[in-house]
Amino acid sequence: AQSVTQPDIHITVSEGASLELRCNYSYGATPYLFWYVQSPGQGLQLLLKYFSGDTLVQGIKGFEAEFKRSQSSFNLRKPSVHWSDAAEYFCAVVRNYGGSQGNLIFGKGTKLSVKP
Amino acid sequence: EPEVTQTPSHQVTQMGQEVILRCVPISNHLYFYWYRQILGQKVEFLVSFYNNEISEKSEIFDDQFSVERPDGSNFTLKIRSTKLEDSAMYFCASSDRGLGNQPQHFGDGTRLSIL
C-alpha cells in the first residue's frame, strides 16, 4: 500500500537558518507529490506540488522541494526561515490505483518551531 | 484568490446526535473531498464526490456518514449518530480535476467535539 513517511515529528531552527523537512513515499511509478502547511487553527495551504518534469519545484513563501526517485524522497527546503514559518508541514501523495479520484495520503506531519 | 469555506468553525454535539458539516467549494471545481484529522494524528481521507455521487470512500466512511450536494454550491457531510471517536477536525477540499493532477484546495476545517 502507498504510504508517506515524515521521520521528524518536531524540528526547531533559529530564525534565518536553513531548513530541510524530510518526506519519503512508497510507490512504484512516478507519484504526484505535495507539501501543505497548517498554521495553528487554520486549514491546509498548498505550498508546492510535483507531477512530472523538473525535479526541483518552487513553491510559495520561498519554499522549494526536490523529487529524488532513487531515494523515494521529496524533501522540503527553505534557505532562510522566518518566524512566521512556524507551523506544521504535511507531505502528501496522491493515491493511485484504478478508479481512484485522486484522494491524498498524508504523512504524520512535522511541526516546525522557530527560535528568535 | 477563491477559497473553500467551511461552517461552522467549531461544532459541539452530544453523543448520539446528528451533525451536518457544511462546505462551499471553489465555484468552478468539480471534485469534492472530505478528510478528517483526529487530534495528534495524520489527516485521513474519508470520501470523494463527483458528478453527484460518491466516487470513492475509505473504510472510515461507514453507514453513519453521508455526503450530499443539495444545491449548486454547498457540499455537506452528515454524521447520523455521533460517537466520541468522531471528535476531530474535518476538512473539505475541492479540485477542478480528479486523478490527482490538479491540487486540492482545503478549507480551514470544522472542529467537531462530541460530548
pLDDT per residue as tens digits for the range A78-105: 999 999 999 999 999 987 655 555 788 9
Q: B109, B41, B11, B3: which is closest to A42 by C-alpha?
A: B109
For residue B19, the enclosing domain spans 5-114
Is B106 in contact with A43 (Cβ distance < 8 A)?
yes
For chain A, list the domains and their CATH numbers. 3-115 (2.60.40.10)
Which triple of cell numbers denotes residue B82?
455521533
Whether the predicted pLDDT of B114 surpasses 60:
yes
Chain A residues within an 8 Å CB radius of B45: 95, 103-105
Measure B17 CA to nearest chain A CA, in Å: 25
Q: Dihedral sign for Cα B57, B76, B100, A73, please.
A: negative
- β-sheet bridge partners, residue B20: B78
pLDDT in tens, B3-52: 999 999 999 999 999 999 999 999 889 899 999 999 888 899 999 998 89
CATH number at residue B42: 2.60.40.10
Distances (CA, A) of A28 to A31, B27, B72, B99: 8, 35, 38, 17
Structural domain count of chain B = 1
Output helix, strand, coil percentages for chain B, rounded to the nearest 5: 5, 50, 50
Is A107 in contact with B42 (Cβ distance < 8 A)?
yes
Chain B residues within an 8 Å CB radius of A94: 99-100
Query: Rounded to an integer, what distance in angstroms lies between the CA atom of residue A53 and that of residue B99?
Result: 18
What b-and-e string marks burial along A3-14, b requiring 16 or more CB atoms within 10 Å of the CB?
Answer: ebebeeeebebe
